[in-house]
């Protein structure tokens, strides 16, 4: 046990002596958290719209004002020909074209129906879908106002309205930051853990100290434990500090037991550190370790459910995602923090991480060869 403590002490001294690494470990993740939480959002708040009003009537102006009054839209261009508006869309200056044809008001009064056209930039399919949904809701609201204005008062008095009250579970204000912060915290802790553990032993190889360690009576398990435990402690500290920042700056709800979070995090960080150790056994330089870590990190992040739901992926991708440790801990973080889930709710995810940890550390230890 004393041997392990000496190695842990050496690792902490090595970390704190490296002045260039300290900001990367303790400052950069917090800065990234603050920036990414505000930047990584699918909320549509500034949809630039070009209005082609060929009717120039009071009704067409009312419809245009409906879009102007919405917090999601910004009428940044008006035109009197569709081609002019289309050119603006091709240049990337507008996201949507609202075309109101000539005779719009007349048809609405005489024939009780009229048409308008939405042309939406659909390069980003998800953005286009949201834009279409918002625009349709505004048009339906406008249509309802027109119907109420044109039926007689006796009929209006006889109508009974159905009032709908909405209640959103776990995120009542539909704040996208509430959804993103737990995921980004997992991402930052993962990056720090994987890079530090992946490059640590490789650094020993590069500077030549690994040969000196290999000829000492230190056992392989003692060496690996002494190497991983310091970064395990640092990663848990990063998570705790990140949770505190999330609560103070973004007021993220913490409905569940934080002890449960840290219990799951302890196992998850051990998985990532073991994965980094495995990478360090198959690489010879820090550059190689970084490239290999980056390759796996990109795959893990994109398939973790950080931005898109795992359930919406193809079946083969969902099956493959069972090898992704980020997916398990991402779900645990969101379930415990936002839903207040207990251990019974996350037990299948937790035990999956435990099995993952046992397998990956076994492979990493087997791959690492100590020559005495």
Which pLDDT value is given to residue 162? Answer: 67
Query: Residue 211 pLDDT > 80, yes or no?
Result: no
Query: Residue 161 pLDDT > 70, yes or no?
Result: no
CATH superfamily entry for domain 47-145 = abc type-2 transporter like domain (3.40.1710.10)
C-alpha to C-alpha distance for 165 and 148, rounded to whole angstroms: 22
Mean pLDDT over each residue of the chain, to the nearest integer: 84
More confident position, 103 or 209: 103
pTM, whole model, 2 decimals?
A: 0.78
Q: Which of 190-194, 212-216, 223-227 has the lowest mean pLDDT?
A: 212-216
Q: Which of 52-66, 137-151, 247-261, 322-336 has the lowest mean pLDDT?
A: 137-151
Return the residue matching tokens 């219990």.
Answer: 263
Which pLDDT value is given to residue 214? Answer: 66
Query: Residue 328 pLDDT > 60, yes or no?
Result: yes
C-alpha to C-alpha distance for 177 and 283, rounded to whole angstroms: 38
* Average pLDDT of the segment spanning 7-35: 78
| pLDDT band of 108, cuts 50, 70, 90 | confident
Q: How many CA atoms lie within 13 A of 252 on its CB side?
A: 30
Listed by start position, the domains of the chain span 2-40+172-367, 47-145
Radius of gyration of the chain (CA): 29
* Average pLDDT of the segment spanning 218-247: 86
More confident position, 348 or 284: 348
Which pLDDT value is given to residue 119? Answer: 93
Query: Residue 372 pLDDT > 50, yes or no?
Result: no
Which pLDDT value is given to residue 326? Answer: 92
């Amino acid at each position: 046990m004393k041997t392990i403590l000496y190695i842990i002490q050496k690792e902490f001294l090595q970390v704190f002596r490296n002045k260039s690494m300290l900001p990367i470990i303790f400052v950069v993740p917090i800065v990234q958290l603050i920036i990414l939480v505000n930047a990584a959002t699918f909320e549509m708040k500034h949809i630039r719209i070009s209005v082609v009003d060929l009717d120039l009537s009071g009704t067409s102006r009312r419809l245009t004002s409906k879009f102007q009054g919405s917090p999601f839209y910004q009428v940044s261009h008006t035109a009197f020909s569709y081609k002019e508006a289309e050119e603006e869309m091709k240049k990337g200056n507008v996201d949507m074209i609202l075309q109101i044809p000539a005779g719009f008001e007349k048809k609405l009064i005489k024939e009780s129906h009229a048409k308008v056209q939405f042309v939406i930039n659909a390069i980003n399919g998800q953005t286009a879908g949201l834009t279409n949904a918002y625009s349709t809701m505004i048009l339906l609201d406008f249509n309802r106002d027109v119907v109420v204005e044109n039926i007689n008062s006796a009929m209006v008095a006889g109508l009974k309205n159905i009032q709908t009250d909405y209640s959103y579970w776990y995120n009542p204000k539909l704040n996208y930051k509430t959804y993103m912060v737990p995921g980004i915290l997992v991402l930052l802790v993962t990056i720090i853990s994987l890079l530090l553990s992946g490059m640590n032993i490789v650094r020993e190889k590069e500077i030549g100290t690994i040969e000196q360690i290999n000829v000492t009576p230190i056992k392989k398990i003692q060496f690996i434990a002494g190497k991983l435990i310091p970064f395990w402690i640092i990663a848990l500290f990063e998570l705790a500090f990140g949770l505190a920042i999330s609560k103070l700056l973004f007021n993220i709800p913490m409905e569940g037991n934080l002890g449960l979070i840290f219990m799951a995090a302890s196992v998850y960080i051990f998985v990532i550190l073991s994965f980094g150790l495995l990478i360090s056994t198959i690489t010879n330089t820090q550059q190689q370790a970084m490239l290999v870590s980056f390759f796996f990190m990109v795959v893990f992040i994109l398939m973790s459910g950080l931005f898109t739901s795992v359930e919406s992926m193809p079946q083969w991708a969902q099956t493959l995602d069972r090898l992704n440790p980020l997916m398990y801990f991402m779900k645990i973080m969101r379930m415990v923090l936002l839903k207040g889930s207990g251990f019974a709710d996350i037990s299948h995810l937790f035990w999956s991480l435990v099995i993952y940890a046992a397998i990956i550390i076994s492979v990493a230890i087997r791959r690492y060869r100590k020559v005495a």
